[in-house]
Amino acid sequence: MSIVVYWLSNGHPFVEHFSDDQLLPALAFAEARRKDKDSDGAPLNGHVVMNSELGDSVGKPGVSDELPADYSWTKSHRGGPPESGNPPKTLA
């Protein structure tokens, strides 16, 4: 049970489970739930979400204190403070 599709239909929650090797069927299932229509042609499901935690892609829990040797990025030195002005210039 590594891939799960959740959806709401008429205010009621539903769930379908898939194994690690069923990513394509899970994607197709979620897309089908998104396209489901009622007898009047209105969307049947108000919310469709897929969540996955594939066994080969998940590391050990927790945060590591070890950084790569060439890692020097910090948020505080990301290009200096924004310039003044109205509105102030941003880095984006």
- Structural domain of residue 27, as residue ranges? 1-43
Q: Is the pLDDT of residue 75 over 70?
A: no
- DSSP-based three-state secondary structure for 51: strand
Q: 68 in a domain, yes or no?
A: no
Report yes or no: 6 and 52 within 8 Å, Cβ to Cβ. no
What is the tens place of the pLDDT at every residue in 12-31?
Answer: 999 999 998 899 999 999 99
Query: Could you tell me if residue 70 is inside a domain?
Result: no
Q: Pick the closest to residue 5 from 35, 42, 32, 36 (CA basis).
A: 32
Any domain includes 30:
yes
Count structural domains, the chain. Answer: 1
> Do 51 and 45 touch, CB atoms closer than 8 A?
no
0.85 cut: is pTM over it?
A: no
Rg of the chain over Cα atoms, rounded to whole angstroms, equals 22
